[in-house]
Amino acid sequence: MTERPLIAPSILSADFARLGEEIRAVSGEGDARADWVHVDVMDAHFVPNLTLGLPVVQSLLKATELPLDCHLMIEDPDRWAIGYAEAGAYNVTVHAEAAGDPIKIAKDLHAAGAKAGLSVKPGTALEDYLEVLKHYDTLLVMSVEPGFGGQSFIAEVLEKARTARRLVDTGHLRLVVEIDGGINADTIEQAAEAGVDCFVAGSAVYGAGDPGAAVAALRAQAARAGTAG
Ligand code: DX5
Ligand code: ZN
């Protein structure tokens, strides 16, 4: 595990007309401060939904000092991912199902100064990507079908988190195990027990009255469950 659980609020559930303010709501001090801000880029092709792209990410980078964790749910990330790294995103995650040459993508992202993330949809097996993952800094395990916030957590994917945790703990992989989809007070403990390091939460943070307090509460819950497990 990383030293403490990382919480990455997803602005997919924020008010898109007030993104700067919404990020400031999770930029406070101490436990209420998000570790990363998760930005869901959707192209209406890889997933049925359409959100935002590079111009908005460039503006967000000027509006916050928090690291941006860009989750690209797009086709042809071989062509488009590099732009997010060059813009200054901290971590750029592409989907294994969409990537043509994932090892080259990771190398390109690193050369542009970003960390590289690989995401797998709920039905995608980890086994096919174990060699590829040696080139990656984060593994984003999707615990819902990508495309929309507010869906129910698919607990079966925790087996992939456990496998990744084991491979990291035994030195076969060096990456942050991240989970995305349906993470809230009812589900975060089982994810923490499975060995997840970083928790993306959209509706659980931005659906709360006080997003900063929600970040603090989720992190505390994950920390308790992670150390108990
Ligand atoms: C879904 C996105 C998620 C989404 C999570 O495709 O990748 O990041 O914002 O939202 P919640 O936490 O509401 O499931
Ligand atoms: Zn996401």
Is the minimum distance from the CB of 9 to ligand 1 under 6 angstroms?
A: no
Q: What is the pLDDT of residues 28-79, one digit of tens each?
A: 999 999 999 999 999 999 999 999 999 999 999 999 999 999 999 999 999 9
Task: Report how far residue 105's alpha carbon sits from residue 16's, in angstroms, rounded to the nearest whole number.
Answer: 29
Among protein residues, the one with the nearest Cα to ligand 1's atom 10 is: 149
Which ligand 1 atom is at minimum distance from the Cα of 12?
9
Confidence of residue 221 (pLDDT cuts 50, 70, 90): very high
Q: Domain 6-228 sits in which CATH superfamily?
A: Aldolase class I (3.20.20.70)
Residues 6+ away with beta carbon under 8 Å from 52:
16, 39, 41
- The arithmetic mean of pLDDT across residues 10-17, rounded, is 98
Nearest alpha-carbon partner for 21 in 64, 61, 50: 64
- How far CA 87 is from CA of 83, 102, 139, in Å, comes to 6, 20, 21
Centroid of ligand 1 to alpha carbon of 181 (angstroms): 5
> Any idea where the domains of the chain sit in the sequence?
6-228
- Residue 210 a catalytic site member: no
Centroid of ligand 2 to alpha carbon of 226 (angstroms): 22
Which ligand 1 atom is at minimum distance from the Cα of 207?
13
Task: Report how far residue 109's alpha carbon sits from residue 91's, in angstroms, rounded to the nearest whole number.
Answer: 9
pTM: 0.98
Task: Using the predicted structure, report yes or no on whether residue 2 has a pLDDT greater than 90.
Answer: no
Q: What is the pLDDT of residues 173-212, one digit of tens each?
A: 999 999 999 999 999 999 999 999 999 999 999 999 999 9
Task: Report how far residue 217's alpha carbon sits from residue 133's, in angstroms, rounded to the nearest whole number.
Answer: 31
pLDDT given at position 45: 98
Which ligand 1 atom is at minimum distance from the Cα of 182?
14
